[in-house]
A and B are shown apart, each in its own frame.
Chain A
């Protein structure tokens, strides 16, 4: 081979490699784009809900309370008759059957929504107000265009007559889309139009908080001890290898561990953020120790020597100099560990967080759901409304993960000090 040929071959090899690299990056990006596009197109409609503008007349005869009733009286009062009487006026129905069909267009919470309006202003008796009442899931999906109306009637959940009412509402501009506050404020529900991630958000928050409080101090102290103080011998080598092994243990194994020890033996309350937090902390511990030790290792020995040489004790050299320098790396490692814990589903399923919980937990020992488990639960539901809710929950989860990773990168870049 001549010199020119060899040179040409070398250049070609380089070009080929560049091409492979670009192709793989392009393929990876393509998958990300498809994923994001898929989730957004399915999920973004969940942030709006369909409401039917209805006039509500508070008839004294149908209510057993007076104007100026106290909050408790209103809470106990029955608004069922008021609801029925007003809803059937939304469309000129001819008979009882038609009225029943009409009522199905509203969500199961219509009575509560009317009651809430009265709670806000307890002088409404004898007056008429206009309320935006949440529509049922079927109407919601129909109005958002997720539901085909050209199917034959027997294969539709919405009857022909309901379509007629819907068209009447559209014509009279009585139907519109509002910001879906239920999605953020409500707990889980069997009715998609009422289901929200409020409970899952609070549950995830408590779980991650407990995970942080347990895992961070233990991991940091363990890393500092192992990296700076522990003698280098077979025992510490053994510990190091096992920390790396633990980080690779499938998370469901931690779930089994928690099931046996936390639930069966210690008998902590099932399905609670407390147990979830402890389980996630066990799982996250090695995942924080590893980056934490790496950032301690990255502090140049010359800094330790400099401190020791002016007479600092080992403890002082570590805590005055090494730890502050390793802190940005430690914090970003912790945040990334927590982000992983936030998206963890398998161990939580084992400790019972898949339970159907309607109430929003008020403390870490209340039964609760969590964001990834909520995704899992809804993805298995048949109703169409849960499809968009599943994607919207994934969007929320992803945005939390992105924010956390962004904070981690920011901390590292902003506070990491360079030496020399």
Chain B
């Protein structure tokens, strides 16, 4: 059994009067891929946005309960979100490279965190991040071209490289392949497999097949509640809950 990296206890999230998450208790293992599945609007994305406090952006959002990373309370009011997000990177549903050069896209994070003092250090970080995200070979000769000129799949890998560039411990992926074609998706999945050796990964996905392919652990959400969580194999072959069974066999959702 691997170490638990992130632990949520009785996590509740409210958007104004509407409760989005109900008492979620979910443990994420270190250097493993955890997939979160469930129908749209069930709270998967809300959950991962609690891990890097991205919900802070939404004024009316209120989070109660506990969520810990290595024993540190993420939900602490006094916690510095900037240093939290340095440790917890995020990749979004739609590739969102900055409208700047490929190089600037990746060097931005290290720069603001004071990593890579010199040009050569930054060059090294950019190269390593692009290599880790399997994009280096495709873009090494055109680092000064805008990130937005890449194809969708390349853009998403660029965003992964951007997340890696600040050397986080956890990477959150919010449906990273939903805007991509099957070939680009396959590449990202391969990449996730590779990245889990170094990082703890949480991926929200609508594709059961993808969850099966990339994850070791799967959690099923429905209407803001965590219905069932367990080893991916077990969830997909022999779930305990009838609702999980119905969802993965495509009877609703």
Contacts and interface: CB of A to CB of B under 8 A. Distances in A.
Interface string A220-264: 000000000001100000000000000000000000000000000
B97 interface: yes
Interface string A303-327: 1111111111100100011000100
A295 B155 CA distance: 24
Which of B85, B95, B159, B162 counts the most A-chain CB atoms under 10 A from its CB? B85
Interface stretch (B51-59, B205-213, B221-229): B51-59
A306 B159 contact: yes
Given A313-B82, A419-B148, A308 B99 contact: no
Interface in B113-171: 113, 148, 155, 159, 162-163, 165-166
Contact of A303 (B85, B86, B96, B166): B96
Contact of A309 (B92, B97, B113): B92
A302 interface: yes
Residue among A300, A305, A310, A419 facing the most chain B CB atoms (10 A cut-off):
A310
B86 A311 contact: yes
A308 to B, nearest CB: 7
A308 B113 contact: no
Most A CB contacts (10 A, CB to CB) among B57, B96, B112 go to B96
B92 A306 contact: yes
A420 interface: yes
B85 A302 contact: no
B83 interface: yes
Nearest to B84: A311
A11 interface: no
A395 B65 CA distance: 69
B230 interface: no
Contact of B165 (A303, A310, A420): A310
Interface in A38-87: none
A306 B148 contact: no
Contact of A302 (B92, B112, B113, B165): B92
B109 interface: yes
A3 interface: no
B92 A311 contact: no
Contacts of A232: 59
Contacts of A420: 94-96, 148, 155
Contacts of A320: 108, 112
A18 interface: no
A329 to B, nearest CB: 14
B155 to A, nearest CB: 8
Interface residues of A, number: 23
B112 A418 contact: no
Interface in A346-370: none
B89 interface: yes
B166 A302 contact: no
- Chain B interface category by residue count: 20 to 34
Nearest to A233: B59
Given A231-B59, A302-B92, A316-B112, A308 B85 contact: yes
A417 interface: yes
Contacts of B86: 310-311
Contacts of A303: 96, 98-99
A309 B85 CA distance: 6
A320 B57 CA distance: 17
A32 B165 CA distance: 58
B108 A302 contact: no
A312 B112 contact: yes
B90 interface: yes
Nearest to B108: A310
A305 B45 CA distance: 14
B11 to A, nearest CB: 20
Interface in B160-214: 162-163, 165-166
Nearest to A304: B57
A305 B54 contact: yes
A309 B99 contact: no
Nearest to B86: A311
A418 B149 CA distance: 10
A420 B97 CA distance: 8
Contacts of B59: 231-232
A302 B85 CA distance: 16
Nearest to A416: B99
Given A231-B59, A418-B148, A310 B99 contact: no
Contact of A311 (B94, B99, B109, B155): B109
Given A305-B96, A306-B159, A418-B148, 18 more contacts: A231-B59, A305-B54, A305-B92, A307-B98, A308-B57, A308-B85, A310-B85, A310-B108, A310-B166, A311-B82, A320-B108, A325-B99, A419-B148, A420-B94, A420-B95, A420-B96, A420-B148, A420-B155
25 contacts: A302-B94, A303-B96, A304-B57, A305-B92, A307-B98, A308-B54, A309-B163, A310-B85, A310-B86, A310-B108, A310-B109, A310-B166, A311-B83, A311-B85, A311-B112, A311-B113, A312-B108, A312-B109, A312-B112, A313-B82, A316-B112, A320-B112, A325-B99, A419-B99, A420-B94
Q: Which 8 A-B pairs have the closest CB atoms?
A: A310-B109, A302-B96, A309-B90, A311-B85, A417-B99, A311-B86, A306-B96, A311-B82
Interface of A: 231-232, 300, 302-313, 316, 320-321, 325, 417-420
Interface of B: 52, 54, 57, 59, 82-83, 85-86, 89-90, 92, 94-99, 108-109, 112-113, 148, 155, 159, 162-163, 165-166
